[in-house]
Amino acid sequence: MIIEPRVKGFLCITAHPDGCAKNIEEQIDYVKSLGAIKNGCKSALIIGSSTGYGLASRICAAFGCKASTVGVFFERAGDVARERPGSAGWYNTQAFTKKAQEEGLYVANINGDAFSDEIKQQAIDAIKQSPLGKVDLIIYSLASPRRTDPQTGQVYRSVLKTIGQERVDKSLDTDKGTVINVTVPSANEKEVSDTVKTMGGEDWELWIKALEKAGVIADGCTSVAYSYIGPKLTYPIYRDGTIGEAKKDLEATAERIDNTLKLYRGKAFVSINKALVTQASSAIPVVPLYVSILYKVMKQKGIHEDCIMQIARLFSQQMYNDNCIEFDDEGRARIDDLELRDDVQNEVFGIWEKITTENLNDLTDFAGYKAEFLKLFGFGVDGVDYSKDCQI
């Protein structure tokens, strides 16, 4: 079947298996080019392992540290009868699995709702079957718009809204390539608490409790969850908005999990990562415009990083290789340091003030943004013949 991109707003509903496989290969090659990571993890559980930061973490664990990996994700397989390609995360996982197994690494994939007790149990069973029988690294990298509470069955939905006053801000219509004004409405109390329930720390803590109860936490185990702060420019819709409340809850949860993992001479913390084009971030108002400007400035300065570069830096320069994590005053790892450098943010702000549809292509890396967005789904990848029939 010939597969073409079908973009609907911030979603691409098709994905290309060969393009996704090539993306995985590139990420593996990058990690290998940095050399083996010394004293790295041996057995990792990655919750949200099929795309973005979680996928990069899985690749670093497997190909940097030679670790067994259990990956948990929510993806769709291809449907041959209906000629419907699978999701990018499905193809990413297939390609990752093939490469890791070729190197003799243990791989287990759990496809389903990570918020459910059933999927937690399936992951625990897979960990028990792994060579170590336990995990010494637990990455929590979920980005989900809804969560079903496993105890009550109630469904919670997260919203991307401000808290307090509604906010009119510049944003990008990525389909039309125009700079527009968006009104981000303010959330009511229920929307704030539902967003915290969905994207906050409760589920991370439930995972740790389930793993502990099953006796599969190894000595010295580290658990990391990913979060974002960003510049003052995006505070009203991100850090001070509903999603920011959820992230603050996640960060507070790290302290409690840290106390639990100390019993195993381990630790838990949140890593604050850089803003990047991923399936999750492209859905946030204002962020795609900010990211297009940020990419331009960071590329010009030669300090742009993508997911795999960010996580490889976290693994090889902070978590492992005889290094230690440089925590900020609130106990968080900061790999957003380059994004938040004063010279970077001053330039970003200068561009933000004068950006219009007319100068969008000159002043921002909108072209890079679009290319990277399509690449997430395996399109526009060098070396892939898109005119060739491929199997879904």
| Residue 122 touches ligand NAD, criterion: CB under 6 A | no
Shorter beta-carbon distance to ligand NAD: residue 64 or 244: 244
Q: Note whether 49 binds ligand NAD by CB under 6 A.
A: yes
Q: For residue 122, give Cα distances in angstroms to 170, 217, 238, 288.
A: 44, 15, 34, 36
DSSP-derived secondary structure letter, 222: E
| Residue written as token pair 């990413």 | 92
Give me the least distance between CB of 322 and ligand NAD, in Å please: 26
From 72-80, 98-106, 122-130, 355-363, give the range in contact with ligand NAD by CB under 6 A: 72-80
Least distance to ligand NAD, CB of residue 290, Å = 10
Residue showing the smallest CB distance to ligand NAD in the complex: 52
Instruction: Give the integer Cα–Cα distance in Å for 240 and 341.
Output: 20
User: Which neighbouring-strand residues pair with 155?
Assistant: 148
- Cα 248 from Cα 254, distance rounded (Å): 10
User: Per the structure block, which two tokens stand in for 267?
Assistant: 């630790």
295 is catalytic: no
Element containing residue 37 per DSSP (H, E): none
Contact region with ligand NAD (CB under 6 A), list: 5-13, 49-57, 317-325, 353-361: 49-57
48 binds ligand NAD (CB under 6 A): yes
Residue 51 binds ligand NAD, judged by CB under 6 A? yes
What lies within 8 Å, CB to CB, of 331 at 6+ separation is 254, 255, 258, 269, 270
Q: Does 72 bind ligand NAD (CB under 6 A)?
A: yes
The answer to whether residue 186 forms part of the interface with ligand NAD (CB under 6 A) is no
Q: Which of 14, 24, 37, 53 binds ligand NAD (CB under 6 A)?
A: 53
Label residue 66 left, alpha or beta by phi (over 0 means left) and psi (-120 to 50 means alpha).
Answer: left
* Residues β-bridged to residue 167: 184
Q: Is 89 in the site for ligand NAD (CB under 6 A)?
A: yes
Binding site for ligand NAD (CB under 6 A): 48-54, 72-75, 89, 113-115, 141-144, 226-228, 273, 275-276, 278-281
